[in-house]
Amino acid sequence: MTLAWTATEMMTVVSARALRSSDVCFVGIGLPSAACNLARLTHAPGITLIYESGTLATRPTVLPLSIADGELCETALTTVSVPEMFRYWLQGGRITVGFLPGAQIDRFANLNTTVIGSYDKPVTRLPGSGGAPEIMTHCGEIFVTMKQSRRSFVDKLDFITTFGHGEGGDHRARLGIRTKGPTRLITDLCVFEPDPETKEMTVTSLHPGITRREVQDATGWPVRFADRVEDTAMPTESELGTLRDLHARTRRAQGLAS
């Protein structure tokens, strides 16, 4: 039987596979939450999930609508104040992996979530930074998840909200940042990882049926491909079944049709 999946399901599965049972993960709402809980329900049962509202070792039975969803407190080992979560857990270096999205990203995985266009007279004003700069700086490593298009994968950001690899090379280290920064950029087309020397995001894996030309056409800079580009493994029946069951439970809990 040939399995069918959506682009979002592929991104979620690929993100989940990158997580380990030993990880302490700073979870975002949406796809990151689905990926982290898919990992917890499959190959990484020991993973520790921390949400921005201060819930620690959270094990939700359904996906939360927001960081204020009561499901998080009810299924957490404990809940701490937001200042304690940021100061002790995040800035204390106790979180191994964080997830971040962006409205725009450049070749060094710097992110823009502030404005499209000029800052003084923007075409679109975006939500802003939130805790993203602190998450990018203090988590052991960062997974960025974004759907890929020339509109969002740009040669030059309109505004740098969150510092990824800066200008590349040792820029993070020169600023005294000791964490790895973005180690994976997971899109609906492929997976990028930073070049070991330049830190430019480089394609290391193509999703099933995706060509190099499609990746380049959806990117606003000349894409680098690794010497050996892997084929992303297709989602398994078990992965898709677990993920879809999680979403179905969530819809039922929200009073929506499954």
- Cα dihedral angle (102, 3, 206, 135), rounded to 10 degrees? 30
Beta-ladder partners of 130: none
Active-site option among 9, 52, 200, 239: 52
Q: How far apart are CA 256 and CA 249, in angstroms?
A: 10
Q: How far apart are CA 129 and CA 22, in angstroms?
A: 28
Using alpha carbons, list the distances in angstroms from residue 134 to 95, 114, 152, 161: 12, 15, 22, 11
Beta-ladder partners of 185: 144, 192
Q: How far apart are CA 102 and CA 111, in angstroms?
A: 6
Phi, psi angle pair for 179, to nearest 5°: -85, 170
| Residue 237: active-site member | no
Q: Taking a C-beta distance cutoff of 8 angstroms, is the pair 17, 230 a contact?
A: no
DSSP of 234-255, one letter per residue?
PPPHHHHHHHHHHHHHHHHHTT
> Catalytic positions, please?
52
